[in-house]
Structure 1
Amino acid sequence: MRTLITIVAFLSFGLLSEIQAQEKHEILSPQEFCDKMKSDDVQIIDVRTPKEYKNGHIKNSTLINFFDDDFKEQLSKLPEDKKILVYCRSGNRSGKASEILENLGYKNIYDLKGGMLLWEKAKTDCY
């Protein structure tokens, strides 16, 4: 019985590790996100609404409204050779957008933890 439990635990751990390895996006703190922004090979994507974007956004970001009917199509046009930094208001929409990007085959996807709410509270050197 002990051997069976050990085998099941080992297999479960292996499956969990495999699932975690499949995740292709990384969630970054505001400072880590800021550090990534300083690279030349990045595309910064804001997935909020135009009204939210107009009220303030991260420098050099491109707006792709999460609620647009062709949102997925717009994402699919992003360059595949750049790191993609994604953010929204709180991290919910950007997390979903990151998953869509993964499903489209993109790699090097970085999601801003806490979105603009946390970004505005953080004291980074990206302002």
Structure 2
Amino acid sequence: MVSIKKIIGFLFLSFILVNCDWDNKDSIILEPKVFSNHINKQNIQLVDVRTPKEHSKEYIQGAININYYSKNFADSLLLLNREKAVYVFCRSGKRSNKSVTKFKKIGFDTIYQLKGGFLNWKKEGFKIVTK
């Protein structure tokens, strides 16, 4: 017979797991509208961590392309100003989320991610540059 304590424990653990925010806690994730307001008002570093092929088709104005999959990714990040905030995005948000750890490791303190990545940015109708 299952005890009441086990049932309560299971329900509590289930509640915790369902309500956990699994996003990277070393960054702030912004909705496209807020992200747009930030990048349009400040002298910021906007980093597109998609591949050069993805970036060459379409991108957000002012974005610097640093390929997350490049073997020189971390070295390329060293070219950025670690004292300034960095705004990062990829296609869907997965690579940008993974990149936060690398940004933090080399000394970036203020990191913002675009929620849902470039796909969400486009879906919401924000301006893009196409080639």
**TM-score interval, smaller chain:** 0.7 to 0.9
Counterpart of 2:76 in structure 1 is 74
| Unmatched segments (≥5 aa) in structure 2 | 1-23
Counterpart of 1:102 in structure 2 is 104
Counterpart of 1:28 in structure 2 is 30
CA apart distance, 1:105: 1.8
Task: Count matched residues.
Answer: 105
Matched, 1:116 2:118: yes
CA apart distance, 1:54: 1.0
SS in 2 for 1:45: strand
CA apart distance, 1:24: 3.0
Alignment of 1:40-51 (within 5 A): 40-51=42-53
Counterpart of 2:54 in structure 1 is 52
Counterpart of 1:93 in structure 2 is 95
Same amino acid, percent of matched pairs: 35
| Unmatched segments (≥5 aa) in structure 1 | 1-21
TM-score normalised by length of structure 2: 0.74
Counterpart of 2:3 in structure 1 is none
TM-score normalised by length of structure 1: 0.76
Paired residues of 1:25 and 1:102 also in contact (CA < 8 A): no
Counterpart of 1:17 in structure 2 is none
1:47-81 Cα offsets, whole Å, 9 max, x none, are 00111001100000000011111101111221022
Letter in 2 for 1:86: V
Over the aligned positions, Cα root-mean-square deviation in angstroms equals 1.6
Paired residues of 1:43 and 1:85 also in contact (CA < 8 A): yes
Poorly superposed stretches of 4+, deviation over 3 Å: none
